[in-house]
Structure 1
Amino acid sequence: MNLLKTHYHPEVKTLDNKSIFTRLATRSIVINGHSILLLYTERYEDYSLPGGGLDLDEDKIEGMMRELIEETGAKDIKNIQPFGVYEEYRPWYKPDYDVQHMISYCYTCDINENLGVSDLEPYEISNGMTAVWVNIHDALEHNKKTMATSTKKGMSIERETFLLHLIAKNL
């Protein structure tokens, strides 16, 4: 799978003498016309692709499908194709490591546009996360505005906005 970008969070000045925790994740890209299936997170005021961390030894495609179903209630997932890899280094919030190396494997797929019931984690519910079909250009502009003006933005917004821009460009 092609590397789309390697991003360093501004707080990660160097990797020299740093303990690094690697986390593998997947992201799903589901397009229907100019609409894209995203997660809106009220806490961070942003849109993101459905996805999350892989379980230990979990197959990437199976993990992508599991996350997509859990977060959106997606049904009839098919035509899964690799899109690319987004790699990032960001501060780790626990004392056991200095830096998190997140590797996100992104896939396109088709689903039934009628979503089932999601099965969100408690922290996702408390963050106000909901699955929505939204115009990709509106989501991109919203994220750009959040990046420029919000004090609530999370660390993933750089990744998500880069990916939305790349997806929109390829539509």
Structure 2
Amino acid sequence: MKLLSTIYRDKNVNSEGKTFLREAVRGIILREKKLLMIYSTVNGDYKFPGGGIDLGESHHEALRREISEECGAEMRLVTGKFGQIIEYAHAIEDSFDTYKQNSYYYFCEINGDFGALNLEDYEEELGFLPKWVSVETALRRNKEVLANPNPAPRWTKREVFILEHILSRKPFT
């Protein structure tokens, strides 16, 4: 998959040190010129549905599970690859120097509407809700969150990059 960007969340990250690696998938789901995104009622930001790949899961299996958990929707199919983002940060795990996350973005389609969500505790605490939103609205809101003096969620910078990339490519027109 094409590497779109490498993002350093923290300053002075030792990207060559002992690394904790997290592999993740994200879904880009378009319908009538709107994206299905996860909105945080606490932070006011938008993120793409997705998350970590469990041991033994394929990318598509993880994407199907994450879309079901976060959106209450059934993924019908993956229609294409969009690109990859690599993020580095200081590791919070004692035995590691570096946290590295590979996020793989895929175009997907879902069946029907939303059903029951199956959120993790932190997702419930952040008030995650699936919402259809225009690329421009999600991008504007995420930029506002980044400009706020309060710390933005760790994914906001990554999602701004992807939203800008989608807007420049206009895959929905």
Q: TM-score, normalised by structure 2?
A: 0.90
In the alignment, which residue of structure 1 is the partner of 2:153?
154
Distance in 2 (alpha carbons) for counterparts of 1:104 and 1:156: 10
Q: Is the 8 A contact 1:23 1:53 kept in 2?
A: yes
Q: Is the 8 A contact 2:37 2:47 kept in 1?
A: yes
In the alignment, which residue of structure 1 is the partner of 2:162?
163
Counterpart mapping for 1:4-153 below 5 A: 4-16=4-16, 18-153=17-152
Deviation string, structure 1 residues 43-94 (Cα, Å, up to 9, x no partner): 4331100010001121111111111111001125224311111111112223
Deviation string, structure 1 residues 98-140 (Cα, Å, up to 9, x no partner): 2211001110011135122211112210121111111111010
Q: TM-score, normalised by structure 1?
A: 0.91
Distance in 1 (alpha carbons) for counterparts of 2:86 and 2:30: 23
| Amino acid aligned to 2:22 | R
Distance in 1 (alpha carbons) for counterparts of 2:36 and 2:82: 16
Residue 117 of structure 2 aligns to a residue whose secondary structure is coil
Q: Is the 8 A contact 1:44 1:152 kept in 2?
A: no
RMSD, matched Cα = 1.6
Residue 14 of structure 1 aligns to a residue whose secondary structure is coil
Length, aligned pairs only? 170
**Structure 1 gap ranges (5+):** none
Identity rate, percent = 34
Residue 155 of structure 1 and its aligned partner are, at CA, apart by: 1.4
**Structure 2 gap ranges (5+):** none
Residue 116 of structure 2 aligns to a residue whose secondary structure is coil
